[in-house]
Amino acid sequence: MDEEVQVWLYDILQSIVEVESYFEGMPKELELYRKDIKTKRAVERNLEIIGEAANRILKKHPGFSLIDAKQ
């Protein structure tokens, strides 16, 4: 696996870890999330990072296995 792909996979992992950290010690309730604009924006940004990294990986290596990447 080339270095660029490793960096993009790391970006995906870090974004997932970051999103999970936003909810530590809190109940995961949709209404609480909807009311918390800062958390919503932070989660949205991390989803953008994940999507962009996944797109770059698939563009460079179309056969790369990223389960449910298109969703």
- The domain locations on the chain are 3-60
pLDDT value of residue 70: 67
Q: What number is the average pLDDT over the span 33-45? A: 96
Instruction: Identify the pLDDT of residue 64.
Output: 86
Q: Go through 22-42 and write b for each residue having 16 or more CB atoms within 10 A of its CB, e for each that does not.
A: eeeeeeeeeeeeeeeeebeee
- The DSSP string of 24-52 is TTS---HHHHHH-HHHHHHHHHHHHHHHH
What is residue 1's predicted lDDT score, i.e. its pLDDT?
Answer: 79
Q: Tell me, what's the pLDDT at 17?
A: 98
- How much is the mean pLDDT over the chain? 92
Q: How many residues does the chain have?
A: 71
